[in-house]
Amino acid sequence: MYRLLIVDNEEYVVNGLVELFQQEKQLDLEVAGAYSAAEALHQLMTTRMDIVITDIRMPGMNGFELQKIIVSRWPRCKVVFLSGYDDFNYAQEALRAGSVNYILKTEDDQVIIDAVKEAIHRLESERETEKVLIEAKSQLKQALTGLQREFFEGLLLGDKHILRSLEKQFDELHIPLAPNRPVGVVVGKVDEWPAEHSHYDRSLLLYAVQNIANEYLSLSTVHASFVYERSKLVWLIQTKAEPWMERFLDDASKQMASQFVYGTFECIQSSCSDLLHLPLSFAIGKHPKPWETLGGEADRLFASIQSSVRRQMLFMQREEADAAGTGSAYSLQHEAFKQYELLSYSLEHNNREEFGRILESLLEAGDKAARSGNDIVRQQIAGAVLSVLCGYLDKLPADEVDGSIAEIKRGYETGRPEAWETQRAHARALADYILGRHVQAEESEENRIITSIHAYLNANLGGDLSLKTMALALGHNPSYLSRLYKQKAGKGLSETVMELKLARAKALLAQPNYRIQDISKAVGFLSDHYFYRFFKRATRLTPQEYREQVNERQRRE
């Protein structure tokens, strides 16, 4: 039901229109009247109105002034102006004010009823649009969460492509952090999940933890958080201070900032325990770090709370000078492990350049270990690299893997001892094979799409060949189809369409039983005139001249 308010200083006009719309049962209206702008304002301040029909000339306040107040109070309310004056200036002013209609009092009732119907139609359209927008925003938020998580995971792995374009990607993914400022890192993990909780229950609890943290952090920090490896959480935090101010903060101020974060996460930990009955441990970085070092920082923090069996830890990272006592062995081992992870990540994301660079770096390290007689390091590198490559082969159907490659995989899985030269050769062979499969798969899929495009064009030459319709039929993005076709065919889709139309038209013109106007429709021209122009521009002959030329040639043969 919609609410309609009728405003006029002439009582008979208000009463007459109230009675008129009360009798219009199909419109489902709740109708009210006001005999002055002041009375109308009183009703509008307390009751939402969907449609207002108002006179323009009224004592105290005219209809245009009233309309401005209505829009400020109820932005979606539709206003229909009613006037006893056939004045063009009034009509112009009404349209500028955003009214639905401008009606003369001398017009019949149906005109006024139609104006209200139009207002209802607009309200319903806006409501439907709003519903779609709300749903779209909800879906976008869900999609953004997944995209942001994937982005941050790549950032922690040190993906160089991500690091080269932080500002652009922050903007696209609606990440509120500043790429030109260092960022504080806090990590957390669930110490123990309730046994009866499903994967969905766990996801909800992690979402609730992020919401609780947001309540505490949002007042004084800019931050982003994401779920990492299912039961872990990462927060990236920056202060709300302007970048130029941070340069003037002394060590004592920075120490206070880190203590503030520590105290905040102490509250978050307690709230999650009390409200969610979920034990959490947190590790907090001592100082903000450059973006390119986030992966190492997060790993060190996770190690500090994962290596302990204690619950609900709240760990503040020590100064780096103190932490250096852990020795370089951990750093080297950690860096090697990061390289294995990045090798796997590059392979999964088909980043051939990065994959090749990391593989060569690892194999060179293996060469050095083999020359120095360090068999433990050499075996570790060989095992890790072959594990990544064979793990990828597991995703391919066994009967599609070449025999020699399958034999290498079987040798690795059985733990057969092999010399470093053999292991290195096997790693290269597996890498070349996998990258070759990537190229073949992409090439095969692209060729299949081009074949599908040609089949679609030939089957629908007389119908709708718009890019959007074709993309919908083939199940691909229109821009992708257009770009791929030009790349593979060396010409645009529209050029191919015209070539096919011309070839089909020529073939049909060679058959005298088809009329030219039928041929025009058969090749998708809405106008015979346009078909004639197209054909003559392409062949320098009219369709009739071409037909006669073909017939003459056939008679000679």
CATH number at residue 41: 3.40.50.2300
Taking the C-alpha atoms of residue 502 and residue 146, their distance in angstroms, rounded to an integer, is 48
**182 and 285 in contact (C-beta within 8 Å)?**
no
55: number of Cβ within 10 Å: 22
CA distances from 63 to 40, 179, 334, 544 (A): 11, 52, 74, 66
Taking the C-alpha atoms of residue 79 and residue 63, their distance in angstroms, rounded to an integer, is 10
264: number of Cβ within 10 Å: 19
pLDDT for res 248: 43
Helix axis angle, 251-271 to 199-217, nearest 10°: 140
pLDDT for res 279: 87
- Residue 450 domain-assigned (yes or no): no
Residues 222 and 292 in one domain: yes
CA distances from 198 to 204, 235, 285 (A): 10, 24, 32
- Residue 171 domain-assigned (yes or no): no
Residues 473 and 376 in one domain: no
Residue ending a domain, choose from 279, 295, 316: 316
pLDDT for res 325: 42
Residues 312 and 203 in one domain: yes
- Residue 135 domain-assigned (yes or no): no
Taking the C-alpha atoms of residue 53 and residue 10, their distance in angstroms, rounded to an integer, is 13
Residues 81 and 28 in one domain: yes
Residue ending a domain, choose from 297, 316, 335: 316
**53 and 83 in contact (C-beta within 8 Å)?**
no
Give, in degrees to the nearest 5, the angle at Cα 526 between 524 and 531. 75
Provide the Cα torsion 96, 97, 101, 107; round to 10°: -90
Residues 104 and 34 in one domain: yes
Residues 13 and 53 in one domain: yes
pLDDT for res 200: 85
- Residue 146, token pair as written in the block: 């997944």
In 3-state terms, what secondary structure has residue 17?
A: helix
pLDDT for res 237: 93
- Residue 147 domain-assigned (yes or no): no
Helix and strand tally (H, E) in the chain? 23, 10
Residues for the chain: how many in total? 557
pLDDT for res 376: 72
User: What is the span of the domain harbouring residue 82?
Assistant: 2-129
Residues 44 and 120 in one domain: yes
Q: Scanning the structure block, which residue is given the tokens 């903060």?
A: 249
Provide the Cα torsion 159, 163, 166, 172; round to 10°: -20
- Residue 19 domain-assigned (yes or no): yes
**384 and 358 in contact (C-beta within 8 Å)?**
no
Residues 125 and 42 in one domain: yes
Nearest Cα residue to 1 out of 22, 29, 33: 29
Give, in degrees to the nearest 5, the angle at Cα 471 between 468 and 475. 140
Domains held by the chain: number: 4
- Residue 77 domain-assigned (yes or no): yes
Strand order in the sheet with 51-55: 29-34, 2-7, 51-55, 78-83, 101-104
Supply the Cα-derived Rg of the chain in whole angstroms: 36
Q: What are the residue ranges of helices labelled H in 157-240?
A: 160-164, 166-172, 199-217
Residues 33 and 125 in one domain: yes
- Residue 180, token pair as written in the block: 């030109």
CATH number at residue 468: 1.10.10.60
Residues 380 and 307 in one domain: no
Task: Give me the average pLDDT of each 10-residue run along the chain (557 residues).
Answer: 89 86 79 91 86 89 87 88 71 64 83 90 86 75 82 85 87 90 92 82 91 88 89 89 48 62 87 88 89 88 70 72 42 58 73 83 85 78 83 73 84 78 90 76 71 84 80 78 85 84 90 89 81 88 91 83
User: CA 165 from chain center: how many Å?
Assistant: 17
- Residue 493 domain-assigned (yes or no): yes
CB proximity list for 167: less than 8 A, separation 6 or greater: 179, 180
Residues 195 and 305 in one domain: yes
Strand order in the sheet with 232-239: 221-228, 232-239, 184-190, 280-284, 314-316
- Residue 491, token pair as written in the block: 């010409």
CATH number at residue 239: 3.30.70.270
Taking the C-alpha atoms of residue 141 and residue 174, their distance in angstroms, rounded to an integer, is 10
pLDDT for res 91: 61
Residue ending a domain, choose from 381, 412, 442: 442
Residues 424 and 529 in one domain: no
- Bridge-based pairing state of the strands 314-316 and 280-284: parallel
- Residue 27 domain-assigned (yes or no): yes
